[in-house]
Structure 1
């Protein structure tokens, strides 16, 4: 990738990359929004769904909260995910460029660039992630008499819900600092997760174009680019590789984010180590630290596949450099 040297062209590159990343994030998250919600409900042992599995939980959401309940909190997710994904993808391109200039071109650089990009995006948008988790965890039951009303309440105007939730956290849970509850496990999880995701995708993309160009590429002007099926495959595999290393930290993040919603879960609000220890002691490894892992694979593989694919497609549509380096 080459960045133009003139300020005008730099701004053009930044704007296009932000747009490509933001659209990619919104597309991928919307595609798996129902799976995202049931994952949060299972991770934090929501009382309405604590005895459910993945598919029975999805059926339970439809039965208890109507079809729109599957997308509860997705409006807040979109408010968060556009700047998050935009910052992450732009940061990755910038970090990759500067690290390559400092240490030389190589695939290992992409792991560090991906990790740094993930941390940058998290730090920029974390309060919105906390709000989104709160909205997704809340259950509004519908009844035959109030089903339409209940569905409307569950999916109402998300921007007002976001403001109300932030105000509640600020007023009753410790002020501005409370908006960053669960930040430490998020950052720790992001280092291997984002690093491996970006590294794996870039490495697989390079591998496919180098060794299987007849099956994986299309000619675009003077270079080869991955075709659509190859993008999805490379993205899906990279999403699968990154999950096991960071998942317990993701569980801890959700526990800490949702800890103040119920007196029984206040114990998870202290710190990362305490949260991990309590989760392990009370629920063990499979039902505690890795609870919801199956749904995470079901959602993460297509989500990362769609995210990287949408980003690559947007880059091509916007005329950004999509050549493979290193």
Structure 2
């Protein structure tokens, strides 16, 4: 039996076998146990376990975070869970269903959960499932509901296209909009999808602070739209556009970040094929008054000249960068020495360089 003081339990990536039911019963159904966070990722859970978890959520409990990622839940399992999530006793705030073999049907179940009164759910991860555009359309019915208070939504690698961007834009335009973080990385959104998403991002109701569009098939036209949005929407503080092909619009985006009225704190540009010119512009950003604390330039062809430009920015008294990632950037021994000198500068605040 668990000590009654244990509140956070992570038993992921284990093989509980038939003991899974006993453990769930002992830890969650016992009213003397106040488990608030439970991680059961990779447990090979199915319908029966979801039914038991639903019973727990329907009874008086303290559970606020539940991670069921990498389990074979399927739509039938989520249907059981939705009954528990819709209970007035359920106070769950975070639910992770990453890679659970779900389809659009699960989106319909989750939409009904988001529409319940009151809705406590604040974070939902449905990444790595074959939801497709139709699934996101169903989910957005719940996201647009006045009862929905969801702040973080992850839909990474869900086989989505530009159609899902149009639906998500309508969510960002709702009054009031509670969504603060959106991850649609690993989907074939392309430029047209980003343009549609930008319609929501430019709306005054949009309060999105973190946007992740890594590996989304975005090129020149899409990046130009993002650059314009960054100038119009001061809320965005964390931007991940890694592994895309920005073309000439790379300069437009970096110019927008340089604007003193923008407060970009975290910027990920991995796999951008950046060269000297972009590094020179990034150095200008670091040398000006800015809010950048994390910069990811991994998998770019920076080489010695690019790092020399960056070192000037890193040595600036305006630079407050704490994390710099340059993995896979073809740096030579000379580059490493230049970086070391910059990091040893009296002005640099970098805490992590990888």
TM-score when normalising by structure 1: 0.18
Larger RCO (CA within 8 A; separation ≥ 6): 1
Which has more helix, going by share of residues?
Answer: 1
Q: Which has the greater radius of gyration?
A: 2
TM-score when normalising by structure 2: 0.17
